[in-house]
Amino acid sequence: MTVLDELFDRIGGLREVGERTTVHYECRRCGLTLSKDAIGCPSCGSDEIAAIPL
Ligand SMILES: [Zn+2]
């Protein structure tokens, strides 16, 4: 393994960890828990979504 391969391997590992981080999404207006790809709150219609890393 070359130094570059090792570097890319390490970067890939870090990225994988980053994607595994849990993020909680909720409506800023009413606090309803939303899914990651929600474009708006189905409860109050607000499109302000708070992303909270846990
Ligand atoms: Zn809402």
pLDDT (tens digit, 9 = 90+) per residue, 4-43? 777 677 766 555 555 667 899 999 999 999 999 899 999 9
The answer to whether residue 49 is domain-embedded is yes
CA of 52 to the centre of ligand 1 (A): 15
Task: State residue 4's pLDDT score.
Answer: 74
The answer to whether residue 7 is domain-embedded is no
How many residues appear in the chain?
54
pLDDT band at 2 (very low <50, low <70, confident <90, very high): confident
Single out the residue of 32, 36, 29 nearest to residue 51, CA to CA.
36
Task: State residue 16's pLDDT score.
Answer: 57
Task: State residue 9's pLDDT score.
Answer: 75
CA of 9 to the centre of ligand 1 (A): 41
The answer to whether residue 2 is domain-embedded is no
Task: State residue 6's pLDDT score.
Answer: 78
Number of domains the chain contains? 1
Single out the residue of 10, 45, 15, 40 nearest to residue 25, CA to CA.
40
DSSP 8-class letter at 27: E
The answer to whether residue 4 is domain-embedded is no
CA of 44 to the centre of ligand 1 (A): 4
Residue 47 to residue 45: CA distance in whole angstroms: 6
CA of 53 to the centre of ligand 1 (A): 19
Residue 33 domain boundaries: 21-54
CA of 37 to the centre of ligand 1 (A): 15
